[in-house]
Structure 1
Amino acid sequence: MTEEVIDQSPPPPDPDPIQNSNPLIHPRRVPFEHGLLPIPNLLFADPIQTLAPIKQKLASSATNNRVGSPAVSEALSISSDHARLVLETLASVLHSETDPLVVAKPEEVDSIGADVRDLVLFMYVQSYKKLMPRTHKDSAAVADVWPSASAFDGYLSALSPIQASSLRNSRRFMPSPADEEAHQLSYLQKHIANIISLLADPVEGQGDESSVLSLESFEHIGFLLHFGDKGSDVPSFSQATPFFKNSNPDIPAVLVPASEVHDWLLKKIASAMESISDRISGKENGPSNASGQEAATVVTCEALNKVPSNDRGPCIIEGVSKTSLFKQASDLKGRSVKVANCHDSVIYLLAPLRYATVYGCSDSTIVLGAAGKAVRVEHCERVHVIAATKRICIANCRECVFYLGVNHRPLIVGDNHKLQVAPYNTFYSHLEEHMTEVGIVPTINRWNESLALGAVDPHDSLSHPTGASDKQSESASCVDPNQFTNFLIPNWFVGEALGSTKDNPFPLPDAYMAVQQTSLKNLEETRQSLRETPLEDNRKRELTTAFHMHFKDWLYATGNIRQLYCLQGD
């Protein structure tokens, strides 16, 4: 079993961004990681030319500058289901936790609607292209032996076996958080002029080139950018600026020329990119990390006991192989988590989470406690995911099974094959407490109402054959009730205070409940029969041996043998 290395050293003291005259600016990760939708009518070749009239159309039908799904459907010429999906996805990635859309109940989403400015920025970033993995060091040799990659066949399958193996077994070929942050900043640097233009208001009588930004409009840039480092931040985006800092709400709103805001943000972005470039070059020039079987399992969490107030710094669990890993609320409470490149393992993350990403894993079982914002599972093979969450997106996965307690329709995108979904099938003692904390409703479970979008993700950087984006992603089938089983989470910490959850909080559908009851009845009848059957000692031993052999065969056949990895050291 690999050794687990956890970085729990306390971080250096953070400077106060308000007192610091030059705080670093950072992109908000979540719109780029959890907010992209492969809906053709959201992809604009020229966002500024297309979105300006759409913004005007939305504003004309807005009430208090907010619009519901009917207005979104009409303005974008998309179905009502897709318009509702746009609003729900926007709600999951908004920067303001107090926005009415974020706290709205499912039945209130259409009546409350989204702020037009947030909606326009959300639509703008649909033009973002994700960062490609680093290429194999011998790319010429790869091309010689694997010249005809099929982009339509999905992300990992579009790579050669050498490339795929490198991506899965070496951290050096995966984009680091710093790489991704630099890529997102580069995108914002290129598009910040258009973004400001969409938020600005023209000055009456001075033409289109003269425009201004109010404090209220400027705050919406916080959807894409924020200040602060390593968990520190400022009360609001505007308080880190020279334009609106210490603005008095009782005084008429200050209007700032859009050109000044543009120049100031460009300087901040350039400074941040320079800082990131120094970090990346420092790591590349430093000692290389071991890879493959020689590398220790690395769980990277900056200050696990410190919950950041912004969305930077997810806990990254990477490279777990042939072992069991357990994290509880004291390790992860309020955090975002990314599980990457883990294989043949069982990973328990029993905590209230914001966002969770499972990426590039295979032959594993991953149990997510309660994810209050969204879960994304991407490029996985033969993985079982057990999750209680508000939303889940499944992209480019093969032969995976999802046991879900989910309040919104599961979203399936990209090149998927042989996916299965089933109702939630486990519990742990603090589950209901964690669900309440992050706002998951146990009486709403839409596990079998998946929504399949395009078979090609237009946000990746691969080229795709003409017409491929018109194809719909393969949807998921439901697990046969006769094949449905409960998943038992072991009690890892005997003696610790237990919560109040005693059973699965999500009610099982009738067909699954009936099978469960029949199985329990058969088990009890078998036990009773064994108790009442007189057997000699040698026959009892033979029967016990037969039971053990069949149970062992079942463990290996179903992959449940992985749950016993935790006993290897005993």
Structure 2
Amino acid sequence: MADPIEPSTSSSDPNSIPIPTTILHPRREPFEHGLLTIQKLIFNDPVQALTPLKQKFASPSTQRVDSAALAELLQISFDHSRLVLETLASVLHSESDPLVTALPDDVDSIGADLRDLILFLYIQSYKRLLPRSHKDSAAVADVWPSMSAFDGYLSALSPLQLVRSNSRRFMPSQADEEAHQLSYLQKHLANILSLLSEHVEGESEESLVLNMEGFEHLGFLIQFGDKGSGGVPLSQAAPFFANSDPDMPAAPVPVSQVHDWLLQTIASSLESITEKVSAKENGSPSGSDQDIAMADASPSSAKASPTARSPCFVEGVSKSSYVKQASDLKSSSVKVINCHDSTIYILAPLRYAIIYGCSDATIVLGAVGKVSLPLCC
């Protein structure tokens, strides 16, 4: 029988663990584009529901899960399990995962990495941030659907009402959404780590440990810095795995130590984001969250966010045509919001596109990985 894995001997005292100065961000992709409207995937107790999946595929030789096995284990249809794998592939953090580049006919044979799949299924219970209340909500509801079951935070205004009211004041900003997502992760962190951890036998009280590979899979949910702008690899930001020798992997770390460090890091990031939101509400908006003045409905009201993390917005276009070329976009995702009786061309390759609150509009997209069309008619 092989000797048990020895956990790291680093102190689990949270006061001895340095907190990184770089802000921890939730990844927008799984929270914004990875939630499915499949009722059987919303678990009352995710740990209880997902532990059998972990136990069945935990051995090193079977750590990828195909559609048939997933359908059988979760008691969902094969089509739904296939949709799970395809959606997971579209929001994965690792471009090197074979599922990302798999051809449609090969998705089932390749399957999903067990740890990524567990994280993806866990966050299906996440509830999006609701919009701020509108001062004339009754009048708004008379004209335009007040809420979408698909996207809980959608604008409640019609395109013409958007022109008059600057509805993005009532939609959660990027900072609001990040704070909400980090708070969710903060609340569920212990459960998430337990599902990624390994049990080791021995005299130590720390029977649950997390190895570096398992820790890096948390990159599906969180990241340091901005993707595409010099972000810090997750394992290099953690003091217990930083500067590890690739030829000699770091020893597994007690889950309690990882939990304490991440809780402190999330709390520090939440404090920073809260200060950002407060500054905006006090009249000092940041570049990426600044509200768009919608004095009139014209193509000039559309705005591209300046950072790689922020989607490009095309908003409030009415009775006109509008074109965006690849050179106009600084992001791989776009949101077309509350456009009416218009023709809009987004002529650039995209990973994600969300089109909502639009009516009587023709919207032409180039190559795109995933499209959502809630609240459109």
TM-score bin (small chain): 0.7 to 0.9
Cα distance change, pair 138–327 in 1 and its aligned pair in 2 (3 A): closer
- Aligned AA (1:375): V
Deviates more, 1:203-212 or 1:188-197: 203-212
For the Cα contact (< 8 Å) 1:338–1:356, is it kept in 2? yes
- Aligned AA (2:280): K
* 2:375 corresponds to 1:379: yes
Query: Secondary structure of the residue that 2:100 maps to in structure 1?
Result: helix
Match of 1:23 in 2: 22
Cα distance change, pair 263–153 in 1 and its aligned pair in 2 (3 A): closer
Query: Secondary structure of the residue that 1:103 maps to in structure 2?
Result: coil
Q: 1:412-423 to 2 correspondence within 5 Å? A: none
For the Cα contact (< 8 Å) 1:169–1:341, is it kept in 2? no
User: After superposition, what is the alpha-carbon deviation per residue over 1:331-378, rounded to whole angstroms, capped at 9, x for unaligned?
Assistant: 23762111122223221111111111112222221111111x211111
User: After superposition, what is the alpha-carbon deviation per residue over 1:136-181, rounded to whole angstroms, capped at 9, x for unaligned?
Assistant: 2366xx49x98xx99899889x99889x946985221112222111
Distance between the aligned counterparts of 1:358 and 1:96, measured in 2?
Answer: 26
User: After superposition, what is the alpha-carbon deviation per residue over 1:498-520, rounded to whole angstroms, capped at 9, x for unaligned?
Assistant: xxxxxxxxxxxxxxxxxxxxxxx
Match of 2:79 in 1: 81
Query: Secondary structure of the residue that 2:303 maps to in structure 1?
Result: strand
* 2:303 corresponds to 1:299: yes
For the Cα contact (< 8 Å) 2:37–2:150, is it kept in 1? no
Cα distance change, pair 185–258 in 1 and its aligned pair in 2 (3 A): same
Distance between the aligned counterparts of 2:214 and 2:256, measured in 1?
Answer: 14
Q: How far is 1:200 from its partner?
A: 0.8
Distance between the aligned counterparts of 1:208 and 1:43, measured in 2?
Answer: 33
Distance between the aligned counterparts of 1:302 and 1:155, measured in 2?
Answer: 24
Q: Structure with the greater relative contact order (CA < 8 A, sep ≥ 6): 1 or 2? A: 2
Match of 1:95 in 2: 93
- Aligned AA (1:301): S
Query: Secondary structure of the residue that 1:102 maps to in structure 2?
Result: coil
- Aligned AA (2:177): E
Quick one: which of 105, 111, 127 aligns to 1:113? 111
Distance between the aligned counterparts of 2:356 and 2:328, measured in 1?
Answer: 21
User: After superposition, what is the alpha-carbon deviation per residue over 1:179-218, rounded to whole angstroms, capped at 9, x for unaligned?
Assistant: 1111111111111111111101122135896311101000
Deviates more, 1:204-213 or 1:278-287: 204-213
State the identity %: 60
For the Cα contact (< 8 Å) 1:136–1:166, is it kept in 2? no
Q: How far is 1:227 from its partner?
A: 0.8
For the Cα contact (< 8 Å) 1:230–1:313, is it kept in 2? no
For the Cα contact (< 8 Å) 1:301–1:316, is it kept in 2? yes
Q: How far is 1:289 from its partner?
A: 6.3
- Aligned AA (2:376): C
Q: Which runs of no fewer than 5 residues in structure 1 stay unpaired?
A: 1-19, 382-570
* 2:205 corresponds to 1:202: no
| Larger Cα-atom Rg | 1
For the Cα contact (< 8 Å) 2:312–2:330, is it kept in 1? no
- Aligned AA (1:368): L
Cα distance change, pair 273–68 in 1 and its aligned pair in 2 (3 A): same
Match of 2:49 in 1: 50
Distance between the aligned counterparts of 1:355 and 1:151, measured in 2?
Answer: 22
Q: Which runs of no fewer than 5 residues in structure 2 stay unpaired?
A: 1-18, 285-290
- Aligned AA (1:299): K
Deviates more, 1:346-355 or 1:217-226: 346-355
Cα distance change, pair 258–347 in 1 and its aligned pair in 2 (3 A): same
Distance between the aligned counterparts of 1:270 and 1:155, measured in 2?
Answer: 27
Cα distance change, pair 290–334 in 1 and its aligned pair in 2 (3 A): closer
In the comparison of the two structures, how many residue pairs are matched?
Answer: 347
Match of 1:37 in 2: 36
Query: Secondary structure of the residue that 2:36 maps to in structure 1?
Result: coil
Cα distance change, pair 321–272 in 1 and its aligned pair in 2 (3 A): farther
For the Cα contact (< 8 Å) 1:171–1:291, is it kept in 2? no
Q: 1:300-319 to 2 correspondence within 5 Å? A: 300-302=304-306, 308=308, 312-319=309-316
Q: State the Cα RMSD in Å.
A: 3.2
User: After superposition, what is the alpha-carbon deviation per residue over 1:441-491, rounded to whole angstroms, capped at 9, x for unaligned?
Assistant: xxxxxxxxxxxxxxxxxxxxxxxxxxxxxxxxxxxxxxxxxxxxxxxxxxx
Q: How far is 1:238 from its partner?
A: 1.0
- Aligned AA (1:81): D
User: After superposition, what is the alpha-carbon deviation per residue over 1:218-247, rounded to whole angstroms, capped at 9, x for unaligned?
Assistant: 010000001113742436321222121121
Q: Provide the TM-score with structure 1 as the length reference.
A: 0.56
User: After superposition, what is the alpha-carbon deviation per residue over 1:20-67, rounded to whole angstroms, capped at 9, x for unaligned?
Assistant: 95111101111111111122221100112222223213436x844111
For the Cα contact (< 8 Å) 1:170–1:292, is it kept in 2? no
